[in-house]
Amino acid sequence: MRVDVLTIFPDMFPGPLGGGVVGRALEQGLLTVVAHDLRDYTDDRHRQVDDIPFGGGPGMVFKPEPLVRAVRAFRAEDPAARVILLSPQGRRFDQSVARELANESHLVLICGRYQGVDERAREEIGEELSIGDYVLSGGELAAMVVVETVARLVPGTLGSHESLSEETFTDRGFEPPLYTRPASFEGREVPEVLRSGHHAAIERWRREQSEERMRRRRPDMVRDGATAGGI
Ligand SMILES: C[S@@+](CC[C@H](N)C(=O)[O-])C[C@H]1O[C@@H](n2cnc3c(N)ncnc32)[C@H](O)[C@@H]1O
C-alpha cells in the first residue's frame, strides 16, 4: 500500500510511524509513506498556502489553488488513488473504516491547519475523515492515526506471532483479559482455566469474557449490534 500525505509540515513524517509494526512494514516495503510539502504546489515567490477568510473572522484559511493543484496531480498519476481530507467534520474513522481503507492500494491524506480549508478545495477532494469529536490543531496526527490503524490490517504487516483474530473490534467483542507470567502476582492469581490446558474451556472462557467486557464497558456498541460483525 502507498500513502501520500500532503502537509505543510512534511518533517513530522514518518515520526512515530517509523517505529514498531508500521516501521517494520515501511522497512520491508509492504507500506510506503511519502510526505509532500503543500508549499511545493504554490506558484508565488512566498510559497503562500493560506489567506484571510472572506466575510471576516479569526485565523487563516488554506487557499484552494495549491490544494487543488496537488489533488489533480495525484489523481492524474493514479486515478485509483483515494483522496481524503482529515477534518473534524468528516465521517468518523473507526475499525470498520480502517478495514475498508486497507483494501485500497493508494491513499492520499490531506492535512489541514489553521481555521481549515477553502470550501472549493473541500469539494474537489470530496471525502473527509474525522478521528473523533474533538479539534486538533492540524491533520498530521490524525493522518498518522489512520496510517497506523490501516497499516496493521494490510496482509503481511503483522508478524506470525501477532494476531488480529481476538483483537478488540473484531467479531468477538473486546479482547479478553490477557495474562503472562508469573501465575501469581502480589496475591492476584491467573484464572485457573487459562492454566488448565483445556482448549475448549479456554476458548469458552475467552468468548464469555469478550462479550461481558463489551457489555460492561460499551453498552452502546452492544445495542448497535457491534459484536455481530465487528465494527
Ligand atoms: C484547527 S483544525 C480546524 C477546525 C475547523 N475550524 C472547524 O471548526 O471545523 C485544523 C485542521 O486540523 C485537522 N483536524 C482537526 N481535528 C480533527 C479531527 N478530529 N479529525 C481529523 N482531522 C482533524 C483538520 O485537517 C483541520 O483542517
Q: List pLDDT tens digits, range 42-90.
A: 999 999 999 999 999 999 999 999 999 999 999 999 999 999 999 999 9
Q: What is the pLDDT of the chain when averaged over all its residues? A: 94
Residues framing ligand 1 (Cβ under 6 A): 86-89, 111-113, 115-117, 130-132, 134-139, 142
Measured between alpha carbons, how far is 10 from 34 in angstroms, rounded to an integer? 9
In one letter, which amino acid is 187?
A: G
Question: ∠ CA(176), CA(141), CA(151), 5° rounding?
Answer: 55
Question: Does residue 219 have a pLDDT over 60?
Answer: yes
Given ligand 1 and candidates 91, 110, 131, 136, which is best to mutate, with the most ligand atoms within 8 Å of its CB?
136
**Probe target for ligand 1 pocket from 92, 114, 135, 148, with the most ligand atoms within 8 Å of CB:** 135
Among protein residues, the one whose CA lies closest to atom 18 of ligand 1: 88
SS3 content of the chain, % helix, strand, coil (to 5): 40, 20, 40
Can you name the residues that pair with 3 across neighbouring β-strands?
33, 107
What pLDDT, in 10s, does the model give residues 105-150?
999 999 999 999 999 999 999 999 999 999 999 999 999 999 999 9
- For the record, the C-alpha cell of 95 comes out as 475499525
Distance between CA 38 and CA 49 in Å, rounded? 7
Residue 220's H or E segment, with its range, is helix 219-223
Answer whether residue 182 shows pLDDT above 60: yes
